[in-house]
Amino acid sequence: MKTAEILILGAGYGGIMTTLHLQKLLSIQEGRITLVNKHRYHYQTTLLHENAAGTAHQDNNRVNIDEVIDTKRVNFVQDEVCEIQTAEKRVLLKSGKTLLYDYLVVALGFEPATFGIPGLKEHSFSIRSINEARKIREHIQCTFARYHHEKRDEMLALVVGGAGFTGIEFVGELVERVPVLCKEYDIDPSKVRIINIEAGQTILPGFAPELVNYAYNYLKNRGVEFYLGRMIKTCTPDGVIIAQGDDEEEIKADTVVWTGGVQGNSLVGQCGFPTARGRVEVRKDLRAPHDDHIFVIGDCAVLYDEQTGRPYPPSAQITIQQAEGCAENIKALLKGQPLKEIKPEFKGTVASLGSEEAIGIVFGKIIVGTKAVIMKKIIDNRYLYMLGGFNLLLKKGKFKLF
Ligand code: FAD
Ligand code: NAD
């Protein structure tokens, strides 16, 4: 039997978990596994809002890939994927290297969806990677540090565009971070504005109304200004133009963070995969519609939930389950066995509002406050355990309650 070349692109939730499952499932004779990722480290995208606000350091949120994979079984290549040539079954990397595959797993994650809004790409930040999160943290810090020299009000205005889960979790961290920055830079906290703009009529549109109200009141009581039912129309070097019907208003701000939505990595569409909003609608076994040798998982993929008739949300919990199914289906392909339909279970959502408050629905049950904070930590710790066992859990786990 020929040893199959299995190539995994991206070491986020999808790529790293597929790799870990495959290294257990396959013998050396069955498959050679290669994992490619831009950085030498894996990070938890779900914690990036903390890094961006500066409430947690990025080193708490990343782990070197060679510390969690079996380096005797997996060839890790730190490089950037530039092109996937499916007809030739090869992938071109930024370094000039070419990698050949028999089976490919595309797990290249998401990028911000800017919906063609003028100026967003140029003048706003987005919470998409460790490098971007660090830029946001340092920009805010640096702007506060310069305040006493320039004394412009907009230096202390922090605009967050979009009140989905990313926006709300980020605002929750800013509420905690701002007093610390004010103390550090001798700034009167009452001068700082945290402004969250949302096109929908409520924050977290579509989420349980009880929890929407809870989060809204919690954050509003801590000084967050909400502009609901207002669309960001334009982003400029001076701030944003928002609109409600025909009425437009300018909000001046040196810091604009766009959390208005995500799409699949645009590289995938550029390489000829059929995509909608950057995502490939995969078959039930997670293979691309046009190629039996390619699996697409995570935020680059759309998989329909048969029970609801709607796509699963792009989320870490769904991606992690897809990764396990993807590894099992690769094993089945190699053995000439039938592939199984992947049906992830959506267990619910827990969102933080800073380190001391959270909201969530878990298996249909609403939780808030301490229970939700503990649940969030359990979710994060469980993932660390899956990734690197007890050692990693002890090193990076969250055990402090408040
Ligand atoms: P990612 O985790 O984004 O991984 C993609 C990987 O590919 C990255 O390592 C990246 O560096 C690499 N990569 C990208 N392009 C290239 C290239 N060209 N070459 C090489 N490597 C490349 N979901 C939840 O379920 N629960 C939560 O609490 C939650 N919180 C979130 C909080 C925030 C702030 C954000 C932004 C998202 C959150 N999500 C949450 C959504 C979740 O993070 C994503 O759905 C999940 O990360 C998708 O996993 P992935 O493997 O597809 O992509
Ligand atoms: P999202 O699409 O869920 O939310 C974006 C928000 O921005 C929406 O409420 C939308 O109405 C608003 N918006 C869009 N255009 C706008 C405009 N021009 N002006 C003002 N508002 C505008 O995106 P997200 O919050 O980044 O979440 C992405 C995915 O990640 C989702 O599936 C989400 O469930 C998941 N996620 C989960 C968690 C969690 O479980 N704790 C945390 C973060 C993200």
Residues 152 and 184 in one domain: yes
- How many domains does the chain divide into? 2
CA 367 distance to own-chain centroid: 23
In contact, 267 and 278? CB cutoff 8 Å: no
3-state secondary structure of 242: strand
In contact, 256 and 124? CB cutoff 8 Å: yes
In contact, 107 and 15? CB cutoff 8 Å: yes
Residues 175 and 321 in one domain: no
Residues 135 and 150 in one domain: yes
Q: Which residues line ligand 2 (CB under 6 A)?
A: 117, 161-167, 169, 197-200, 205, 231-232, 259-262, 313-315, 349-351
CA 251 distance to own-chain centroid: 27
Closest protein CA for atom 30 of ligand 1: 46
Spacing, Cα 147 to ligand 1 middle (Å) = 34
In contact, 194 and 224? CB cutoff 8 Å: yes
Residues 340 and 357 in one domain: no
**Does 68 map to a domain?**
no
Residues 342 and 355 in one domain: no
Residues 306 and 366 in one domain: no
The atom number, within ligand 1, closest to the CA of 109 reads 53
Dihedral of CA atoms 346, 352, 357, 362 in degrees, nearest 10, equals: 0
**Does 382 map to a domain?**
yes
**Does 49 map to a domain?**
no
From the CB of residue 2, how many other CB atoms can be counted at a distance below 10 Å? 7
pTM reported for the whole predicted model: 0.97
**Does 151 map to a domain?**
yes
**394: phi then psi, degrees, rounded to nearest 5:** -65, -35
Residues 187 and 244 in one domain: yes
Q: Which residues line ligand 1 (CB under 6 A)?
A: 10-15, 36-39, 45-46, 48-49, 80-81, 107-110, 127, 166, 169, 265, 267, 298-299, 314-317, 319
Quote the domain boundaries for residue 91: 4-38+79-112+263-346
Name the DSSP class of 340: P
Q: What is the CATH number of the domain that holds 125?
A: 3.50.50.100
Report d(CA 171, CA 352) in Å as an integer: 10
Query: Where a domain ends, among 325, 346, 367?
Result: 346
Residues 342 and 396 in one domain: no
**Does 59 map to a domain?**
no
Residues 231 and 290 in one domain: no
> Which ipTM was obtained for this model?
0.99
Report d(CA 93, CA 82) in Å as an integer: 5
Residues 24 and 163 in one domain: no
Residues 248 and 355 in one domain: yes
Q: Which ligand is nearest to the CA of 312?
A: 2
CA 65 distance to own-chain centroid: 18
pLDDT per position in the chain (402 positions), as tens?
789 999 999 999 999 999 999 999 999 999 999 999 999 999 999 999 999 999 999 999 999 999 999 999 999 999 999 999 999 999 999 999 999 999 999 999 999 999 999 999 999 999 999 999 999 999 999 999 999 999 999 999 999 999 999 999 999 999 999 999 999 999 999 999 999 999 999 999 999 999 999 999 999 999 999 999 999 999 999 999 999 999 999 999 999 999 999 999 999 999 999 999 999 999 999 999 999 999 999 999 999 999 999 999 999 999 999 999 999 999 999 999 999 999 999 999 999 999 999 999 999 999 999 999 999 999 999 999 999 999 999 999 988 766
Spacing, Cα 132 to ligand 2 middle (Å) = 18
